[in-house]
Structure 1
Amino acid sequence: MKYRHIFFDLDHTLWDFETNADETLRHLYDDHQLGRYGTFTVDEFIRVYSDINHGLWRLYQNNKITQQQLRATRFPRTFVKLGLSEEDSPAGISEQFTDILPKKSAVFPYTYEVLDYLRDKGYELHLITNGFKDIQYLKLNASSLTDYFQEIVTSECCGHLKPDTRIFQHALERTGATAPESLMIGDNLECDVLGAYNAGIDQVYFNPEKRRHAIQTTYEIACLSELKDIL
């Protein structure tokens, strides 16, 4: 077998972040009766929050803001963008979101089937994630994914964020793997694909929406089931 160690990203690759976040934000919209403002729908609330959250995550991944700043500002900025004030952001809503979201369990189609297949074939499975350690372990446990992975490498524990090659080097050292026998699977062209490439690791770009791009990848798939054609 060409590859022995398979490294997965978690959010947007196995764990369906968008579906789980959508459910959580709808709960918060109802729980805090945000419809009372009469100025935005639940779908607008979700869209604006998602745009702001993605932008803040890009800043976090580039070491421009801290974890605390990300968590503290995403909801106040959402309310300002929706035409309200930061003070209209309900007290504790960020903590409530952080408490509810990781307990959701939606995963992408074929997640369990593919992980079972790879494990049965003798591959060693690991995770490399930029998510916060406490949150990522809650997600893994809620979705019954924890036991599939021998090593779970988080940026918080490593001290480096993807695409920094140091997190990939740390993962190789921690698992006893070499770059030529390793394969990284993820949805983010910069963090997962280019990060792994710069570390000498082959990559699978998970692109379920079939977005057009100009990045050269070792492999590209639109469904996790296609991994069976590669491995």
Structure 2
Amino acid sequence: MHDTCIFDLYGTLVDIRTDEKKKELWDRLALFYAFYGADYTPCELHHAYDCLTAEMSAGKGGIRKDAHEAYPEIRIEEVFLALFKEKGVNADEVLARHAGQFFRILSIDHLRLYDGTEEMLSALKNSGKKIYLLTNAQKIFTEYEMNALGITLYFDGIFISSEHECKKPDVRFFEKLIHTYGIDRDRAVMVGNDGVCDIEGAKKPGLQLYM
């Protein structure tokens, strides 16, 4: 019998669509940076962002082509901080986080829970199940999106890859969650939508699977 559920987030509980290539996004983000003295054209800012993201990912042992291809993980706020520093602006991490969150808001086309998600989480919680989140994501985006959707309170523990320098399907990410919360892997099920990150990844530490 399973008494622990480990969930993926995006594509499993949360339906999100983003577009980071929108011209309007880079126009407005360039204006945001200009407010603080970092003078970029929209095209220059977009190029600098792409280059910094790739360089930081490569420095951790992988090239960030998308959320699934490189197991090392970066903290995206470091990219937004570096964008200020490249223009000689002495910004702090708070401002970098706000820049990143503004970027995220501009990129979102829609953000919502899948039908029945909150009812399911509530039913699991009320039945005494332990509920954990294991997601490939950036804390400065995901933590606030979960709060906005009203689901944070259902989880007994939340693991976001940007805070652990690795991500699914890396077995280290699964093992960190298991050891931190003393999860009995024989009584825990992984629920996700990705055959590599969630399903193949969960097989390595011996979790039960549901897809």
Counterpart secondary structure, 1:57: coil
Q: CA RMSD in A?
A: 3.2
Corresponding residue of 1:58: 68
Does 2:192 match 1:193? no
Corresponding residue of 1:223: none
Q: How many residues align?
A: 157
Encode CA deviations 1:146-205: one digit per residue, 9 max, x unaligned: 000010011122222110111111111112211101111111110000100111001111
Residues 6 and 189 of structure 2 are in contact (CA less than 8 Å); yes or no, is this contact kept in structure 1? yes
In 2, the alpha carbon distance for the partners of 1:123 and 1:114 equals 11
| Amino acid in structure 2 at the alignment position of 1:11 | Y
Distance change >3 Å, CA 160–CA 6, structure 1 → 2: same
Residues 102 and 142 of structure 1 are in contact (CA less than 8 Å); yes or no, is this contact kept in structure 2? no
Residues 104 and 143 of structure 1 are in contact (CA less than 8 Å); yes or no, is this contact kept in structure 2? no
In 1, the alpha carbon distance for the partners of 2:163 and 2:101 equals 22
In 2, the alpha carbon distance for the partners of 1:117 and 1:95 equals 32
CA shift at 1:114, angstroms?
A: 0.6
CA shift at 1:67, angstroms?
A: 5.5
Distance change >3 Å, CA 201–CA 96, structure 1 → 2: same
In 2, the alpha carbon distance for the partners of 1:167 and 1:119 equals 24
In 2, the alpha carbon distance for the partners of 1:125 and 1:15 equals 16
| Amino acid in structure 2 at the alignment position of 1:169 | E
Distance change >3 Å, CA 122–CA 103, structure 1 → 2: farther
More helix as a share of residues:
1
Which blocks of at least 5 consecutive residues in structure 2 are unaligned? 29-63, 81-98
- The structure 2 residue matched to 1:132, chosen from 133, 138, 161, is 138
Counterpart secondary structure, 1:177: coil
TM normalised by structure 2 equals 0.63
CA shift at 1:97, angstroms?
A: 3.3
Distance change >3 Å, CA 189–CA 199, structure 1 → 2: same
Corresponding residue of 1:17: 16
Corresponding residue of 2:161: 155
Deviates more, 1:154-163 or 1:179-188: 154-163
| Amino acid in structure 1 at the alignment position of 2:119 | E
Pairing 1:163-174 to 2, within 5 Å after superposition = 163-174=169-180
Distance change >3 Å, CA 110–CA 173, structure 1 → 2: same
Corresponding residue of 2:115: 109
Corresponding residue of 1:217: none
Distance change >3 Å, CA 28–CA 95, structure 1 → 2: farther
Counterpart secondary structure, 1:56: coil
Corresponding residue of 1:8: 7
| Amino acid in structure 2 at the alignment position of 1:162 | K
In 1, the alpha carbon distance for the partners of 2:24 and 2:116 equals 29
Residues 3 and 130 of structure 2 are in contact (CA less than 8 Å); yes or no, is this contact kept in structure 1? yes
- The structure 2 residue matched to 1:183, chosen from 181, 189, 192, is 189
In 2, the alpha carbon distance for the partners of 1:133 and 1:95 equals 10
CA shift at 1:109, angstroms?
A: 1.1
What percentage of residue pairs aligned between the two structures are identical?
25
Higher relative contact order (CA 8 A, sep 6+): 2
CA shift at 1:57, angstroms?
A: 2.5
Counterpart secondary structure, 2:210: strand
CA shift at 1:134, angstroms?
A: 1.6
Pairing 1:30-49 to 2, within 5 Å after superposition = none
